A = this chain, B = another copy of it.
Amino acid sequence: MSEQRRDMNAAWLDAVKWNSEGLVPAIAQEADGGMVLTLAWMNRDALALTAESGLAHYWSRSRKRLWRKGEKSGNEQRVRDIRLDCDNDAVLLLVEQRGGIACHTGRHLCFYQRLEDGHWRVVEPVLKDPRTIYAEK
Identify the A interface with B (CB < 8 A). Answer: 1-2, 4-5, 7, 10-12, 15, 25, 27, 29, 33-36, 38-39, 51, 81-88, 90, 92, 103-105, 107, 110-120
Chain copies in the assembly? 2
Instruction: Give Cα A12 to B117, complex, Å.
Output: 10
Smallest distance from the beta carbon of A28 to chain B beta carbons, Å?
Answer: 10
Q: Which residues of B contact A33 (CB under 8 A)?
A: 34
Cross-chain contact B82 with A115 (CB below 8 angstroms): yes
Smallest distance from the beta carbon of A102 to chain B beta carbons, Å?
Answer: 10
Q: Which residues of B contact A81 (CB under 8 A)?
A: 114-115
Cβ 8 A contact of A115, one of B36, B84, B85, B115: B84
